[in-house]
C-alpha cells in the first residue's frame, strides 16, 4: 500500500508527511534493539516522491516492554490508580527511566536519519498532556516548589495552609494534589498545573536540544492540543519551539465550526508572535461530539484556508489513510475507507491544488517579520484558566474558554481582526483589549492594563476577572480587586443566577450577577430593580468597561458596539488580509458581497465583488482598506 500512498499523495499535492508519531514499539522492539528497516523504506519512498517528512520522535507511546520493565514509569491518576499500557500516552514525564528511554530513542532516530534527505522537520512527542501523580512526580513537584518559593514559609503563605491545618513543616510532606477527602488546596492545585507544564516542557527541551545538536538547522516542533483543556502554558512553550504547530478539531458544526477554527488559528498566530506556524492536524470529518460525520462539501478547503490566511504554512491532517484496525479505525482520513474514489479524497486533491497555487507569503521564513497588529486583543492566559477550573469556586458555570470564544466569535462575525495577548504583554495600540472572566491577574498584569487604559486604550472586562492574585488568594476590600480602580467600581457581593434575568438594555443575563457600587464609573445598563450591570469609567485618557454578568452574543455585541471595537463585516463572510494577498471565504449558504476584487490566485478568474455559497478566493493585495494585516 505504501507505493500507492505515495502516488496518491502526489496526486493530492501533499508536500509534507508526519511519520512515526506513535511508532516506538516498532522502532525499538526491545531495549536498545532497533528495527529501522521499515522506516528506511517509508522515508525512501517519500523522498523518491519529492515529499518532505516531519519525522516524529515517538515518546508519546512507550512500548509495552518498556512499561513492563519500568512499571514505575506508568501514569498514576490522582486517585492512585496506576494505568496500564494498551492505549497511548501512558507515561510519567518525571520518571527517570522514561526520560532516559526518551533520549535514547531520540538519539537513535537522529543518528540514523541525520543525513537522509526526507526529514525537513522534527515532531517531538504528541499533544503533551498526561499529568501523573506518582512518587517520581511528587519528588519533581517538590523540587519545582523549592525553586519557586525558596522556603516553606513562602509556600505556606502562598497556599494559605493555615486553613484546615495544612501547614507543611517539611518538604517531604508535600504531594501532588492526590485524591483527598474533600476540597484540595487551590494554591496547590494551581501550582501543580504549572509544574506539569514545566515538567513536560523540560522533557521536550531535552529532546529538542539533542536534535539541534545532531541535526542543526532542522526545526523542532511539537503539536499543541486545543480542545476544552490545555495542559501547558502555550505562551511559555512557544518561546521554546522552533515552529508553533497546532491541532484543530472543532466541536461545533457548520458556522460554529468556522468560528472555532478562526479562534484556534488566531491563537496559534498569536503564540507564534509573527513567526510562521503550522496547522499540524485537522480532520476531514467531525470527530468530537456525539456523532462523527464527514465535513460538508467545501468545509475541508474553507477550514484549511482559514488557517493559511492567518499565517499557517500549510494545512495538514490527521490522518492520511483511515485505517482498517486499531483504536482510531473510525477516525476519518484524507483517504477514507472507501478509497480514493470518494468525495473526501477529491476534495483533498482540490485543496492540494488550490494551496499549490497560492504563493508562500512574503517573508515566510522562520525568522519572519513581526506580526502586524490586529485591531483588538483578547487576553489569554492558561494559568488564569487553570485557576478558574480550581476547587470550590462560587459557580461551576464560570467558563473562561467559553468567555474567550464568545468575545472572539462576536468580533469575527463583524469582520474585526482579533489577536490574543498575555495579560502582561506589552499592549500596543490595540483599539480595544477584552478581558474574558480572567479570574487570576498578577499585580504586574494589573499595572499593565492600567497603563494601557491610562494611555488611551479601551478595556472591556467581563465578570469574575481580577479577583485572585497569582496564588489564587482573593484580593480583599471588594471585587474585582486588581481592577477596581481602573473600572471605578466596587463589587460587594456576588449573586450567581439560577434563572436568567432580563436586562432592559441588553437582553438576557445568565450564570452570574453582582452587587456593583459605582466609584467613579457610570452605569450603562442595569439589572431589573436598577442596580448597575454594565459600567463605563474614564481612566486617564482611556475608558474601562465592566460587564458584571454573562450576556448572550447579541447583548455582548451591543456592549462592544458602545465601547468601540465593532466592525461592519457580513456575518459568516471572512476577509483576512495579509501583506501581499487577501483571503475571502464565504461560510454561508448564500451568495454574498465581498470587499475584494482582482484575479483569484486559485482559479485564475476575476473576482467581481461577490462570492457564491461556500466560495473562497485569494487575491493579491492592492492597497489595503485598513492597516490590519497578518504576516
Ligand atoms: C489528536 C491526536 C491524533 C489523533 C487525533 C484524533 O488529538 O494528536 O493522534 O488521535 O487527535 O482526532
- pLDDT exceeds cutoff 80 at 108: yes
How far, in Å, CA of 233 to CA of 204, rounded? 13
Judged against a pLDDT cut of 90, whether residue 90 lies above it is answered with yes
The catalytically annotated residue of 28, 199, 259, 281 is 281
| Cα distance from N-terminal residue to C-terminal residue, the chain | 39
| 132 marked among binding-site residues | yes
Q: What is the pLDDT of residue 359?
A: 80
Question: What pTM was computed for the model?
Answer: 0.96
Strands of 542-547's sheet in order across: 418-421, 376-379, 432-435, 458-462, 542-547, 532-539, 522-526
CA-CA distance, 33 to 68, in Å (whole number)?
A: 16
Q: What is the mean pLDDT of residues 51-67?
A: 98
> In angstroms, what is the span from residue 364 Cα to ligand 1's centroid?
27
pLDDT in tens, 391-412: 899 999 999 999 999 999 999 9
Do 337 and 544 touch, CB atoms closer than 8 A? no
Under 8 Å between Cβ of 213 and 106: no
- Does 368 score more than 50 pLDDT? no
**pLDDT at 473 > cutoff 80:** yes
CB 277 within 8 A of CB 246: yes
What pLDDT is attached to residue 569?
A: 86
Please state, in angstroms and rounded to a whole number, the distance separating the CA atoms of residues 350 and 332.
18
DSSP state of 335: B
Paired with 494 in beta bridges are: 514
Instruction: Catalogue the long-range contacts made by 227-231 (C-beta closer than 8 Å, 24 or more residues apart).
Output: 227/251, 227/288, 228/401, 229/129, 230/382, 230/385, 231/128, 231/129, 231/130, 231/131, 231/193, 231/196, 231/197, 231/200
pLDDT exceeds cutoff 90 at 619: yes
21 and 99 Cβ atoms separated by less than 8 Å: no
231 carries a ligand binding annotation: no
475 is in an annotated binding site: no
Q: Which residue has the cell 525512501?
A: 44
Peptide bond before 364: cis, by omega within 30 degrees of 0?
no
505 catalytic, yes or no? no
| Mean of all residue pLDDT scores within the chain | 94
Task: Return the closest-CA partner of residue 130 out of 68, 197, 58.
Answer: 197
Ligand 1 site residues (CB inside 6 A) read: 126-127, 225, 247, 249, 281, 283, 287, 318, 328, 331
Active site residue 111: no
Amino acid at each position: 500500500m505504501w507505493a500507492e500512498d505515495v502516488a496518491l499523495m502526489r496526486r493530492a499535492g501533499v508536500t509534507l508527511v508526519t511519520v512515526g508519531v506513535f511508532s516506538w514499539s516498532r522502532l525499538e522492539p526491545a531495549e536498545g534493539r532497533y528495527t529501522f528497516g521499515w522506516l528506511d523504506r517509508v522515508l525512501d519512498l517519500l523522498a523518491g516522491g519529492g515529499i518532505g517528512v516531519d519525522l516524529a520522535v515517538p515518546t508519546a507511546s512507550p512500548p509495552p516492554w518498556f512499561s513492563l520493565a519500568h512499571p514505575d514509569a506508568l501514569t498514576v491518576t490522582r486517585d492512585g490508580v496506576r494505568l496500564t499500557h494498551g492505549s497511548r500516552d501512558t507515561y510519567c514525564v518525571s520518571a527517570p527511566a522514561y526520560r532516559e528511554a526518551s533520549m535514547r530513542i531520540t538519539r537513535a532516530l537522529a543518528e540514523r536519519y541525520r543525513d537522509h534527505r526526507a526529514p525537513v522537520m522534527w515532531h517531538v512527542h504528541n499533544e503533551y498532556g498526561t499529568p501523573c501523580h506518582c512518587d517520581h512526580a511528587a519528588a519533581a513537584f517538590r523540587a519545582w516548589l523549592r525553586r519557586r518559593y525558596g522556603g516553606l514559609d513562602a509556600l505556606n503563605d502562598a497556599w494559605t495552609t493555615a486553613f484546615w491545618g495544612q501547614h507543611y513543616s517539611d518538604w517531604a510532606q508535600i504531594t501532588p494534589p492526590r485524591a483527598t477527602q474533600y476540597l484540595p488546596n487551590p494554591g496547590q492545585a494551581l501550582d501543580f498545573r504549572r509544574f506539569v507544564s514545566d515538567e513536560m516542557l523540560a522533557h521536550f527541551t531535552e529532546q529538542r536540544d539533542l536534535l539541534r545538536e545532531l541535526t542543526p538547522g532542522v526545526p523542532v516542533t511539537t503539536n499543541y492540543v486545543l480542545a476544552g483543556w490545555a495542559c501547558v502554558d502555550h505562551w511559555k512553550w512557544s518561546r521554546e519551539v522552533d515552529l508553533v504547530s497546532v491541532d484543530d478539531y472543532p466541536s461545533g458544526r457548520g458556522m460554529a465550526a468556522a468560528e472555532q477554527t478562526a479562534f484556534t488559528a488566531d491563537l496559534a498566530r498569536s503564540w507564534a508572535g509573527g513567526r510562521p506556524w503550522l496547522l499540524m492536524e485537522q480532520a476531514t470529518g467531525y470527530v468530537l461530539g456525539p456523532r462523527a460525520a464527514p465535513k460538508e462539501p467545501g468545509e475541508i478547503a474553507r477550514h484549511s484556508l482559514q488557517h493559511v490566511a492567518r499565517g499557517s504554512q500549510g494545512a495538514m491532517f490527521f490522518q492520511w489513510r483511515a485505517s482498517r484496525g486499531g483504536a482510531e479505525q473510525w477516525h476519518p482520513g484524507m483517504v477514507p475507507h472507501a478509497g480514493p474514489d470518494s468525495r473526501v479524497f477529491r476534495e483533498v486533491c482540490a485543496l492540494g491544488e488550490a494551496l499549490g497555487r497560492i504563493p508562500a507569503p512574503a517573508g515566510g521564513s522562520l525568522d519572519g517579520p513581526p506580526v502586524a497588529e490586529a485591531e483588538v486583543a483578547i487576553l489569554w492566559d492558561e494559568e488564569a484558566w487553570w485557576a478558574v477550573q480550581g476547587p470550590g469556586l462560587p459557580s461551576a458555570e464560570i467558563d473562561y474558554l467559553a468567555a474567550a470564544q464568545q468575545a472572539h466569535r462576536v468580533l469575527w462575525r463583524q469582520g474585526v481582526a482579533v489577536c490574543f495577548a498575555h495579560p502582561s504583554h506589552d499592549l500596543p495600540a490595540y483599539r480595544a483589549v477584552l478581558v474574558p472572566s480572567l479570574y487570576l491577574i498578577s499585580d504586574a498584569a494589573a499595572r499593565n492594563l492600567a497603563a494601557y487604559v491610562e494611555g488611551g486604550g479601551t478595556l472591556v472586562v467581563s465578570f469574575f476577572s481580577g479577583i485572585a492574585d497569582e496564588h489564587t488568594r482573593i484580593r480583599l476590600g471588594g471585587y474585582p480587586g486588581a481592577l477596581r480602580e481602573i473600572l471605578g467600581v466596587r463589587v460587594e457581593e456576588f449573586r450567581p443566577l439560577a434563572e436568567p434575568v432580563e436586562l432592559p438594555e441588553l437582553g438576557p443575563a445568565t450564570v452570574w450577577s453582582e452587587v456593583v457600587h459605582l466609584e467613579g464609573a457610570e452605569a450603562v445598563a442595569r439589572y431589573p430593580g436598577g442596580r448597575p450591570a454594565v459600567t463605563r469609567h474614564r481612566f486617564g485618557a482611556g475608558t474601562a468597561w465592566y460587564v458584571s454578568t454573562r450576556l448572550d452574543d447579541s447583548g455582548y455585541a451591543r456592549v462592544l458596539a458602545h465601547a468601540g471595537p465593532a466592525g461592519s463585516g457580513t456575518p459568516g463572510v471572512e476577509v483576512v488580509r495579509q501583506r501581499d494577498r487577501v483571503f475571502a471565504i464565504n461560510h454561508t449558504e448564500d451568495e454574498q458581497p465581498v470587499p475584494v476584487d482582482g484575479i483569484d490566485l486559485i482559479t485564475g478568474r476575476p473576482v467581481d465583488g461577490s462570492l457564491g455559497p461556500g466560495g473562497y478566493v485569494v487575491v493579491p493585495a492592492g492597497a489595503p482598506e485598513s492597516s490590519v494585516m497578518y504576516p
